[in-house]
């Protein structure tokens, strides 16, 4: 043992517990009587200051979670108009609306080419994205392509296939 080492060991064994015993932490606490309504109001005010969950501001945007969110959004974007149109089509004889195929084809045919392209593009985009991303999820359900690099690569593939198939559907038909 080196000289002076024994005194350091004694210091660690004796001085450290003494330091803990001499420093006292105090926390002033005061209580007050309040009604349940007042305590609930305080709770509501505290909740307003909390970040929403999930707090997306603390995350670095990544293709994985952006495409996951878009998959849900495009599912609704495809489903809601489908059901609304179905209900309108069923109610059209009662309301006097003309939603038959001939009327809709004539109305769409009267639009300018740019408007036709825009409508077809906006209708095809969520449909194609949700379809391609659905295929991606079906592959995952088989247990394949489920490591980080492959998930990112297939995510960008879905984006590319979505753009290509959307442009094709908007321009070809």
Question: Is 44 domain-assigned?
Answer: no
Residue 155 or residue 57, greater confidence: 155
What is the per-residue pLDDT across 88-140, written as a single tens digit (0 to 9) for each? 999 999 999 989 999 999 999 999 999 999 999 999 999 999 999 999 999 99
Q: 98 near 92, Cβ under 8 Å?
A: yes
The domain in which residue 137 lies consists of 56-172
The structure's pTM equals 0.67
Q: What's phi and psi for 3, nearest 5 deg?
A: -65, 140
3-state SS, one letter per residue, for 64-113: HHHHHHHHHHHHHHHHHHHHHHHHHHHHHHHHCCCCCHHHHHHHHHCCCH
Is 6 a domain residue? no
Q: What is the pLDDT of residue 8?
A: 63
Element (H, E) at 127: helix 113-141
CATH no. for residue 122? 1.20.1300.10
Render pLDDT for 17-68 as a digit per residue (tens, 0 to 9). 555 556 677 888 888 889 999 999 999 999 998 877 777 778 888 899 899 9
């Amino acid at each position: 043992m080196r000289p002076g080492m024994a005194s350091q060991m004694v210091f660690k064994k004796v001085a450290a517990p003494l330091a803990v015993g001499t420093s006292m932490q105090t926390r002033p606490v005061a209580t007050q009587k309040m009604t349940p309504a007042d305590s609930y109001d305080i709770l509501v005010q505290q909740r307003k200051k909390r970040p929403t969950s999930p707090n997306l501001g603390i995350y670095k945007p990544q293709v994985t979670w952006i495409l996951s969110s878009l998959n849900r959004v495009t599912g609704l974007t495809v489903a809601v108009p489908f059901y609304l149109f179905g209900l309108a089509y069923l109610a059209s004889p009662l309301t006097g609306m003309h939603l038959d195929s001939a009327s809709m084809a004539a109305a769409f045919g009267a639009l300018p080419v740019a408007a036709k392209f825009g409508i077809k593009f906006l209708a095809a985009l969520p449909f194609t994205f949700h379809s391609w991303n659905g295929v991606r999820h079906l592959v995952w359900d088989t247990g394949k392509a489920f490591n980080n690099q492959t998930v990112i690569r297939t995510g960008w593939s879905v984006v590319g296939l979505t753009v290509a198939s959307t442009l094709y559907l908007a321009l070809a038909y």
